[in-house]
Amino acid sequence: MSEKIPKTKLILFVLILVILNLFAAVLMKILSLINIENYFVIVLGVITVMIINLFRLIVWYHANKQFNLNIIYPLTSIYYPLVLFVSYFFNEKITFIQIIGTIFIMSGVFWLGCKTNYMEV
């Protein structure tokens, strides 16, 4: 028997996945910028990133049980504008092409999101 899953549950899964991915990326970037002579701090940071990614893997497992991969995976591309935003705070150069590419990605996510009211399992 199929069960209707609300769009809010889809959005929640996507947000959790994106936030975990962004947090791991930012943590690794911070670790790479710090001049640390104590390798214990680096190892602790890398282990933290591994734990975050393990948790993200578990969330992906549950997301894949409830949603089609061709719906949930493209929606996680909201990660790209967030990375662009975060990279600004690390004083990284953001090009016009990156901005245009991100706009194209987000327009695709928007259209995909408009077509997704719910999924059936």
pLDDT in tens, 49-88: 999 999 999 999 999 898 888 778 888 888 888 999 999 9
pLDDT at 118 over 80: no
Residue range 32-61: average pLDDT?
Answer: 89
pLDDT at 102 over 80: yes
Residue range 31-38: average pLDDT?
Answer: 80
The residue extents of the domains of the chain are 4-120
**Which residue reads 């790209």 in tokens?**
80
What Rg value do the Cα atoms of the chain yield, rounded? 17
- Residue 52 has a CB neighbour count (10 Å cut-off) of 18
Q: Is 91 exposed, middle or buried (0-12, 13-18, 19+ CB in 10 A)?
A: exposed
Closest C-alpha to 121, from 6, 24, 23: 6
Can you give the pTM of this predicted structure? 0.79
